[in-house]
Amino acid sequence: MAILPFDSRGVLVADLARGRIDLRGEGRVVALPAGWLERISPQLAPDAGHALAEALEPSVRGALTDVGGASPEEIAHALTVAFAMHGLGAVSLESWGDAAVIVWRDPPSTQPGFRVLAEATMAHLISRISDVGVSAAVIGHDATHLRLLLSSRAACDAARAASNGHGISAALDALQPAAGPS
């Protein structure tokens, strides 16, 4: 097993008298309304997504004993530890046939502006942790979840277009090869 135990005591310390919030391992942090991310994400992604991924990467790596030997499920667990420490929600991994889908529970937002940042962040972070270049596409969402396909850029573009208003089934159907003549 490549997962280290996680002690949540003292991860976040708020000193309201001094107007300060500190995060273990990071130092001082600033709490901003999630709505701000919705408004600024489209203008800043993918650069902001890459920066966020690089900021989260040490926390993800710190949750694993052997990054190279970690299973996809162990990497998803390490992502959850890092995301939770930073107030970004939690993630899990789903497999739909050959498709790998990250389920991001309780992200800061599920609105269209934030989805652009979510795709850039997840693609860059997974690529850096796994040493496998991937793209990400939001292929499903509701008020409390984002579902992101991890695949090639072409597959993500096709799945994103197919899922637009039609859900995850349409996105995954778009990835199936067309039946040829028999």
- Which domains, from first to last, does the chain contain? 34-174 (3.30.1380)
Instruction: Give the range among 54-58, 65-69, 121-125 with minimum mean pLDDT.
Output: 65-69
pTM of this structure: 0.81
Strand order in the sheet with 135-141: 90-96, 99-105, 145-151, 135-141
- Residue 30: CB atoms within 10 Å: 6
120 falls in which pLDDT band (50, 70, 90)?
very high
**135-160, pLDDT tens digit by residue?**
999 999 999 999 999 999 999 998 88
Q: What's the confidence (pLDDT) of residue 165?
A: 59
* Mean local confidence (pLDDT), 52-81: 91
User: What is the pLDDT at residue 174?
Assistant: 75
Q: What is the distance, to the nearest Å, from the Cα of residue 11 to the centroid of all Cα atoms in its chain?
A: 20
With a cut of 60, say whether residue 161 has pLDDT above it.
yes
Mean pLDDT of the chain: 86
Q: CA dihedral in degrees (129, 132, 138, 144; nearest 10)?
A: -20
